[in-house]
Amino acid sequence: MSAPTAKRARGIDVPTLGIGTWQVSGEDAYEEVADALDIGYRHVDTAAAYNNEEEVGRAVRDSGIQRDRLWITSKVWHTQLAPDLLRRSAETSVRRLGLDYVDLLLIHWPGEDGTLEPALDEMVSLRGRGLTREIGVANFPPSLFDRALEHAPVLVDQVEYHAHLSQETLRAIAEREDTLIEAYAPLGSGGSLLGDPVLEEIAEAHEATPAQVALAWLVAQDRVVALPRSTNPDRRRENFAALELELAPEETARIDMLAAQRRRSFDPPWAPEWED
């Protein structure tokens, strides 16, 4: 494999490719996760807000894979950051998953002013209780990620990141602080970047697909983990095989240029100022 199967931060190994489960529910979520684990994915990303933790957890448990070989993430919604709400949300996630703990608990989006530090304190306390191994944030722009890091041992910032949206500032913070950036929508929202002619041209040269090129570009980067999602079993295999694809330096440089256009898809009303 040309990309490492795990990325290390603060002595913790996080599997490089995780299966995303946003907008996948019911038996589809069960099948997606069960199949992904069968393929070799060892990292599953869910959230309280995805309404699929029961099915995701059942697939994890049915896989029979040793728990300590898996990396399971869930998230607390931004309206639930008051300490008692956060505690209840995390406890409910773990119960719905049917697990003893999650590996990573994230604040899903920044909350209102004044909520961050108390929420992080509560997460540290949940970690102390063994409900989660690590804590992190999602959708935090650089200054807020810095602020979270000043207050608590945050392991990751999970953000939209792909070949049309660079995240140089966050990557620099991750390098400096020994943390990780997790890329959601790594193929662009709804696979939007897959028709990009540059990705197509590079894919052709490798007898690979544009999706594999987009993922290979991400996972070749230090401190970057990617979370592709597919409801299609063939595409899940295709995406996992991207770990084996090695891009030439000039190909990487071409995709770096694409990413400089910074085309962001996820910008809901509750999003923070992105600082770009």
Sketch the per residue contact string, 158 through 197, with ligand A2P: x for CB under 6 A, - otherwise: ---------------------------x-x-xxx--x---
Which residue, 4 or 191, has its beta carbon nearer to ligand A2P?
Answer: 191
Burial class (CB in 10 A: 0-12, 13-18, 19+), 4: middle
Sketch the per residue contact string, 5 through 24, with ligand A2P: x for CB under 6 A, - otherwise: ---------------x-x--
* Dist. CA 268–CA 79, nearest whole Å: 14
* Dist. CA 45–CA 31, nearest whole Å: 14
By CB under 6 A, the residues from 201 to 230 that bind ligand A2P are 209, 211, 228-230
* Dist. CA 3–CA 193, nearest whole Å: 22
One residue of 30, 43, 239, 255 binding ligand A2P per CB under 6 A: 239
Residue 44 in contact with residue 71, Cβ under 8 Å? yes
One residue of 232, 253, 261, 262 binding ligand A2P per CB under 6 A: 232
Closest separation between CB of residue 35 and ligand A2P, Å?
12
- Angle of helix 210-219 relative to helix 197-206, nearest 10 degrees, comes to 90
* Dist. CA 270–CA 79, nearest whole Å: 10
* Dist. CA 227–CA 32, nearest whole Å: 13
Is residue 39 close enough to count as binding ligand A2P by CB under 6 A?
A: no
Catalytically active residues, by annotation: 50
Which residue, 125 or 232, has its beta carbon nearer to ligand A2P?
Answer: 232
Q: Which residues form the interface with ligand A2P (CB under 6 A)?
A: 20, 22, 185, 187, 189-191, 194, 209, 211, 228-232, 235, 238-239
